[in-house]
Amino acid sequence: MKRIQLIRITPMVFAVLLLATWGCGSGPSLEASVGTPVDGDDHADDRGELCARHGLPVSECFICDPELRELGRLWCVEHDRYEDRCFVCHPELEDSERLWCSEHNLYEDECTLCHPEFRDAARPSAAVGDDLECQEHGVAEQECGICHPELAAALEPGSGLKIRFESARSADKAGVKTAKPVIASNLPDAVVLARATYDQNRFARVTPLAEGVVRQVVADVGQSVSRGDHLATLNSPEVARAKGDYLSARAEETLKLTLSTREQRLVAQRISAQQEYDQARAEHEIARNTTATARQQLLNFGLTERAISLVEQTGSASSALEILAPFSGIIVDRDVVLGEAAAPGKALFKIADLSSMWLELSIPEDELSLISVGQTLIATFDAQPRLEVTGRLTWVSSSVDDESRMVKGRAVIPNPDRLIRHGMFGQAHLRTESASNGLYVPASAVQHIDGSPFVFAPLADDLFELRRVALGGRGGAMVAIVAGLNPEDEIVVTHSFALKSEFLKSRLGAGCVDE
């Protein structure tokens, strides 16, 4: 743009200049005056690289670079000019007696880009705009969060911006509810969803250790059993073969022992050579090892010491294999019938010790700071409303579920009178020992914007304040507010996200509009 010489003009000339500058009615658009440097600007190349949009030195283009704008002076995003120079939003501010720089949307006497000599002088109308009112939302321009969301980043705890709905009923339609903060002494426990399951340290799937056919079933579901009780019997050729091998090994060991003893006596009488005795002793040792291996095979098939002794006494290599209870408990499942083929890995019975149960917990990831292994809890169940049992947290997962955003946990609880059943749903109440004195609000009342926490306080039916707060520790579903909130303040506790959405409308291009 050419440098304008300030000259003395007549009213007629002044009117012609105004028509040439503003056109018919409203202020000029920025796009009509941007582009390449104006001919005659001999100093453009001396000021560095030029802005491609506005033809200004990049180091001076405050239109593109917000950091070059005057501090504390609001910027109208919709019309690319200072708010106090946006006559579309604020027609009451227009001064028709002052020359207008259509290139930079400023008065000529304050455009330092066209008039560098003005840079050291104070802006003549610096105070203009400090008390601007947002015509669209009826609040001070400096407090309008919809038109100027960028102001939220500089807010300190306790300060805020105004958010106005389109109508007085908009908040009610969005389901917005308000409440006052609570103090720490009234803070409830953290409550997480829980599901009762069998204690896996006291649970067994009873499976045969050899292949066979079920010959007898002597136990059934719901029956109490003790360790070693007989549950079923299989006919197993493998077991019969193992018993025969064991009996043969024992007979061979007895024979080798007799031969070794005889050779030892003959050596002592100098009738037999020492070499023959050494060989007999070695053969006896081999036979003894073979017997031990055969005996171990029977143990591997599940035979008890008593059953092996009975094989030794009777010399019977029967194919019978008894299935025994591994510990005391209740048979909670049976999957076996007579004549069925059974094999290792197939569970014939399931036994559980119901004196204790596990609780599988679903912990929200934002409450992990309150949870620690070893923490006590009180479990309640929907199906047993009068039952409360105290347990202990034994494990918390190191991963978060991708879909539910929950963290798995586990607790062990007693099961008095076996009232707690596998699969029952309930709640685990964990006392929030980390809660400190202060104000607490529901975590859902706090909304984060650009990483900073805010709450919404009602000022009128259609007007709310976006207030910056400082957070403390959590207490279950509640979060502490350490600054920015008073005990008597009402805040939005339900559907606060509707207020956040209203605030963010301006970032989607729904701020001030040209009427």
Q: What is the DSSP string of 71-86?
A: TT--EETTTTEEGGG-
Predicted local distance difference test score (pLDDT) of residue 411: 95
Give the strands of the sheet with 470-475, arranged side by side.
Answer: 182-183, 439-442, 478-483, 470-475
Q: Contact at 8 Å (CB) between 105 and 85?
A: yes
> How far, in Å, are 446, 453, 501 from residue 449 at the CA level?
10, 7, 11
Residue 357 bridge partners (DSSP): 198, 413
Coil/strand/helix, residue 61: coil
Q: Which domains does the chain have, with CATH numbers?
A: 11-130 (no CATH), 160-184+436-508 (2.40.420.20), 190-199+353-430 (2.40.30.170), 210-348 (no CATH)
Asked which of 324-328, 355-359, 455-459 is least confident by mean pLDDT, the reply is: 455-459
Strand locations in 293-355 (E): 320-324, 329-334, 341-342, 349-352
Residues 6 or more apart in contact with residue 214 via CB below 8 angstroms: 232, 233, 234, 336, 337, 338, 339, 340, 341, 342, 348
pLDDT in tens, 362-419: 998 877 777 888 888 999 998 888 899 999 999 999 999 998 889 999 999 999 889 9
- For residue 20, pLDDT over 90 is answered with no
Q: Contact at 8 Å (CB) between 176 and 497?
A: no
Comparing CA positions, the residue from 429, 430, 420, 356 lying closest to residue 383 is 420
pLDDT tier at 188 (50, 70, 90 boundaries)? Answer: low
| Mean pLDDT (the chain, rounded) | 79
Predicted local distance difference test score (pLDDT) of residue 189: 66
CA–CA distance, 85 with 98 (Å, rounded to integer): 12
Encoded tokens for 248 = 């043969």
pLDDT in tens, 40-89: 444 444 456 777 666 667 777 777 777 777 766 777 777 777 777 776 67
Instruction: Determine how many CB atoms are found less than 10 A away from the CB of residue 43.
Output: 10
Residue tagged 């019309």 (tokens):
79
- For residue 487, pLDDT over 70 is answered with yes
Give the strands of the sheet with 212-217, arranged side by side.
Answer: 320-324, 230-235, 212-217, 341-342
Element (H, E) at 19: helix 11-22
CA–CA distance, 109 with 315 (Å, rounded to integer): 121
Higher pLDDT, 488 or 146: 488
Q: Strand 81-82 and strand 75-76: pairing? A: antiparallel
Encoded tokens for 424 = 């029952």
Coil/strand/helix, residue 355: coil
pLDDT in tens, 101-133: 767 766 666 776 676 665 555 444 444 455 677
CA–CA distance, 411 with 362 (Å, rounded to integer): 11
